[in-house]
Amino acid sequence: MSLSQQTAVELAALLAAKEISAREILESCFARIAAVDGRVGAFLGYDAEDALAQADASDARRAKGETLGPLDGIPVALKDNISLRNQPLTCASKMLKGYVSPYDATVTRKLREQGAIVWGWLNMDEFAMGASTENSGRQITHNPWDLSRAPGGSSGGSAAAVAAGLTPLALGSDTGGSIRQPASHCGVVGMKPTYGRVSRYGVAAFASSLDQVGPIGHTVEDVALALQAIAGGDPHDGTALANSVPHYREEMQRKTGPWTIGVPEEFFAAGLDPDVKAQIENAIAFYQQQGCTIKKVSLPSTAQAVAVYYIISTAEASSNLARYDGIRYGHRSEKATDAIDIYALSRAEGFGDEVKRRIILGTYVLTSGYYDAYYVRAQKVRTLIRDDFMRAFGEVDFILAPVSPTTPFKLGERATDLLSVYLGDIYTIPVNLAGLPAISVPCGTAHDMPVGFQLIGKPLDEVTLFAAAQQFEQAHDFAARRPNL
């Protein structure tokens, strides 16, 4: 196994023992990209010179005994909606072709401060709108376990890059499941933190009340290490919580259970693939064998979650994407002859079909006469969805559920069946609407493709999720599996 395919924790130990250098890790990533990414398509690009300079700086610090922490020298690649100073930021859209970020996102800055090699920009569904990475305006990303299948989305490039061994860690963003679903489909671990746990400053907005940045890695401990680095308050983001950040890696070792685990009956109804269901039930059985109490809970408002999400998220997208007008920045049409043309033609040419579809829907639900009927009502139901979770948490420590009702579909298979794509997020969307933390953990295979389950926790209780997820991980070999590329 090449260095690039090892876990972040393993690499950190090798660096600490001075058995390898940060430059060697990065060069292994470069070699792996050259060997397999032509078939996977996870990276949109990277600046080798800048990344190597970061690696050499890390090695120089280590030679002096001045390391900045366990991530010092570990490569972390970014989804292409997270700002990286002096590097392209396109959100996988023609609208931002040629745009170069003038500053670092807060998560980028925090990683740099802890010595991580922050590099590369990873493919995604355009402006994070999609669940397969097929909506990218740049290229198609393939699932490393079966190149004919989608990796999930919208953080498909991030999950595929980690699964394929192109980078040990990656950041994604999760608005309705966009970290957890591709992590499940690619057989890796992905954490969507509590809303506000991680700053969104410098992250291109899709739906501001739902978006949250989180890490993707090979193991639970890798993801805990990365979340430790990026979590915390931020004066640049009024939604970033100032609560103290736990020492996840230390505290999760002290939590051993047994726990009372909620299993929501609404998540196991019609539509869940029987083979996927069997793997989730195996995970439930494992926790029961560890002495955990399994308790059925009800989340009755789940049935409305998808409809609520596509009202609220599109309304916020309509507002957030209004800034891309061809005047201040973004693509400007060469066919425009007046100010109206600049706005209309630039947006028509720059945005892809899925983005246009969501802008149109969002503009509609915000229109006078429909605002109360749709947007206000959706916000009320959103409160009911959160209330369902909080009621359940009065009886259980966390909730265990599927991530996706199916395994990854064939690329192009659902190009005209948008409803089935939207419904594929039925188990992840409620978590975003409620602002809760959730982690996706590999638990087996179905139809020869990875399957993950998710643990959904109480607000700011990522520690318990890490502890319970690691208990499952350490009893199985899923974290050690790699696709044959």
Question: Which residue has tokens 């990796």?
Answer: 151
The band of 82, judged by pLDDT with boundaries at 50, 70 and 90, is: very high
Please report the pLDDT score of residue 420 as a whole number: 78
Q: 342 pLDDT exceeds 80?
A: yes
Q: What is the CA radius of gyration of the chain?
A: 21
Please report the pLDDT score of residue 328 as a whole number: 82
* Strands annotated E in 300-437: 398-402
| Per-chain mean pLDDT for the chain | 96
Q: 416 pLDDT exceeds 80?
A: no
Active site residue 79: yes
222 φ/ψ angles, rounded to the nearest 5 degrees? -60, -45
Please report the pLDDT score of residue 180 as a whole number: 98
- Find, among 109, 88, 75, 358, the residue nearest to 213 by Cα: 109
Q: Which of 83, 154, 301, 318 is catalytic?
A: 154
Please report the pLDDT score of residue 456 as a whole number: 98
Please report the pLDDT score of residue 394 as a whole number: 98
List pLDDT tens digits, range 199-239: 999 999 999 999 999 999 999 999 999 999 999 999 999 99
Coil, strand, or helix at residue 120? strand
442 φ/ψ angles, rounded to the nearest 5 degrees? -60, 140
Active site residue 154: yes
Residue 255 identity? K
The domains of the chain are located at 3-261+397-480
Please report the pLDDT score of residue 429 as a whole number: 98
The reported pTM is 0.97
Q: Which of 21, 28, 79, 404 is catalytic?
A: 79
Dist. CA 380–CA 310, nearest whole Å: 14
Please report the pLDDT score of residue 417 as a whole number: 78
Dist. CA 204–CA 334, nearest whole Å: 25
Give the burial class of 276: count Cβ atoms within 10 A of its Cβ; 0-12 exposed, 13-18 middle, 19 or more buried.
Answer: buried
* Pair of tokens at residue 15: 């660096």
Dist. CA 196–CA 189, nearest whole Å: 21
Give the percent of the chain with pLDDT over 90. 94
Angstrom distances, CA of residue 391 to CA of 299, 319, 427: 9, 33, 18
Question: Which residue has tokens 């690696």?
Answer: 55
Active site residue 178: yes
Other CB atoms within a 10 A radius of the CB of residue 341 amount to 13
Dist. CA 52–CA 75, nearest whole Å: 10
Q: 349 pLDDT exceeds 90?
A: yes
Question: What's the average model confidence in pLDDT over 19-37?
Answer: 98
Output the DSSP codes for 151-193.
--SSSHHHHHHHHTTS-SEEEEE-SSSTTHHHHHHHT-EEEEP
Q: Which residues contact 405 (CB under 8 A, 6 or more apart)?
A: 271, 272, 273, 276, 423, 424, 426, 427
Please report the pLDDT score of residue 369 as a whole number: 87
Q: Which of 136, 158, 178, 313 is catalytic?
A: 178
The band of 414, judged by pLDDT with boundaries at 50, 70 and 90, is: confident
Residue 429 identity? I
Q: 415 pLDDT exceeds 80?
A: no
List pLDDT tens digits, range 148-157: 999 999 999 9
Angstrom distances, CA of residue 33 to CA of 27, 28, 91, 140, 142: 10, 9, 21, 16, 14
Question: What's the average model confidence in pLDDT over 335-339?
Answer: 90
Q: 405 pLDDT exceeds 90?
A: yes
Please report the pLDDT score of residue 424 as a whole number: 85
Please report the pLDDT score of residue 404 as a whole number: 97
Please report the pLDDT score of residue 209 as a whole number: 98
Please report the pLDDT score of residue 470 as a whole number: 98
Q: Where are the alpha helices (DSSP H) in 245-304?
A: 248-254, 274-289
List pLDDT tens digits, range 173-200: 999 999 999 999 999 999 999 999 999 9
Higher pLDDT, 313 or 414: 313
Determine the topology of domain 3-261+397-480 in CATH: Amidase signature (AS) enzymes (3.90.1300)
Question: What's the average model confidence in pLDDT over 31-58?
Answer: 98
* Pair of tokens at residue 123: 């493919």
